Structure 1
Amino acid sequence: MRLDHLIHSIWHELARASQDRQHAWRTPVLATVGLDQHPNARTVVLRQAREPSGELVFFTDGRSPKVAELQIRPQASLVFWSPQLRWQLRVSARLQALTSGTEVDAAWARVGWSASAGDYLTAQAPGHPLADGGVPPDSPGDRTAHHLAVVVARIESMDWLALGLDGKHQRARIEGPAVQLLTP
């Protein structure tokens, strides 16, 4: 990979992943520090990749514990792996959870009638114990009272690793427009 094309190639894959449900980077692992000071890692769905502003976007329930975590410690890591590309991308970012406003309204306009809309319409917050039988209650018919939050990850740095089939691996650290080759 030529370094002058690396940043463009990474953003190209991130943009593809945000649109292609089959792309391996569609579901990265997000790691934060919990309110109990322990690490928390979970899979999220990449919804947008905004190259000009250096941002990645995913959704969550606004009542999720991760929203409270991000208000106290907005630093997070996202880890992407693609077996087809043989690329790992580690992203350090500052996260902001938006629970109202035009960006949330626009996201809800896209998600509100999808199969996943029910996740953001339940009366109970994520992690709430279920009654006997283990079936969550149906979502209410009112689709305006949702709990969708848009999480914007502003990238601070990226660490890219490419595993070559010939054993020749490449690694680089990216901060803004600067690319620094590293020992793999």
Structure 2
Amino acid sequence: MTEDARLAELAQIESAVWAELERAVHSRFTGSVAPHEWRRAVLATQDADGPQARSVVLRDLLLDSRELVFYADARSPKVAQLRRDPRAVLLCWSSTLGWQLRLRCHIEVETSGLDVTARWAHIRNRPAAHDYLSPLAPGTPMPDGHGGLVVTPLPPERLRETFAVLSARVEAIDWLELHARGQRRAVFDAQGARWLTP
């Protein structure tokens, strides 16, 4: 963002954040153009060993309910962690914008129902479905000699069992702008919008 185009009002910034998130979930690789930098976010959860973080791909935005949607293998450690404690943080960084978002979320895990079925039907014949082909749960040690590749995939009728939809309801946004004219930080939550010291 240029100096002349730098947003000044908190309401403008909050609106721009949601607009960028919407662009991110709908962006795809098209030729030489990469998707929006926020399409891949870092999800931080907690387990008995302490904080855990990993990348996730944002798949949808439900603006009215302020929910971001992503998919996971239902057998993965992150799903087990979120079932025990649904509080999480999504971290997004854009070098193009110079913006970092920390999104404090409450995440619901769904493995059945009409929405899950519809989303699975949408991706089942796409490369994204390959993430759910392994007969082993994510993180399971593999036999020697396989080079990390799934050798015997699950039969098609079982694939749906391993697919989970994660809906992250955003409860607070901590926005940080890195800019040549100075850093700015703001928070948007149930108490409203306010500036913070960067």
Instruction: Give TM class, smaller chain.
Output: over 0.9
What is the Cα deviation at residue 110 of structure 1?
1.3
Q: Which amino acid aligns with 1:6?
A: I
Equivalent-residue separation in structure 2 for 1:162 and 1:143 (angstroms): 47
Tell me if 1:116 matches 2:128.
yes
The match for 1:56 is 68
Q: Which amino acid aligns with 2:103?
A: V
**Secondary structure of 1:136's partner?**
coil
1:81-100 matches, cutoff 5 A: 81-100=93-112
Deviations 1:82-110, CA, capped at 9 Å, x for gaps: 00000000011111110111111111011
Tell me if 1:12 matches 2:24.
no
Within the candidate set 132, 138, 144, 2:144 is matched to 132
Tell me if 1:103 matches 2:115.
yes
Equivalent-residue separation in structure 2 for 1:13 and 1:165 (angstroms): 21
**Secondary structure of 2:14's partner?**
helix
Counterpart contact for 1:62–1:149, Cα < 8 Å: yes
What is the Cα deviation at residue 37 of structure 1?
3.7
Change in 2 beyond 3 A, CA 1:165/1:30: same
Equivalent-residue separation in structure 2 for 1:15 and 1:176 (angstroms): 21
Q: Which amino acid aligns with 1:163?
A: L
The match for 1:182 is 196
The match for 2:178 is 163
1:145-164 matches, cutoff 5 A: 145-146=159-160, 147-164=162-179
> What is the percent sequence identity of the aligned residues?
41
Tell me if 1:40 matches 2:52.
yes
Within the candidate set 165, 187, 193, 1:173 is matched to 187
After superposing on structure 2, the runs of 4+ consecutive aligned residues of structure 1 that deviate more than 4 Å are none
Change in 2 beyond 3 A, CA 1:10/1:182: same
Q: Which runs of 5+ in 1 are unaligned?
A: none
Equivalent-residue separation in structure 2 for 1:38 and 1:103 (angstroms): 32
**Secondary structure of 2:20's partner?**
helix
RMSD: 1.5
Q: Which runs of 5+ in 2 are unaligned?
A: 1-6, 29-34
Equivalent-residue separation in structure 2 for 1:4 and 1:108 (angstroms): 36
What is the Cα deviation at residue 176 of structure 1?
4.4
TM-score by length of 1: 0.93
What is the Cα deviation at residue 128 of structure 1?
1.6
TM-score by length of 2: 0.86
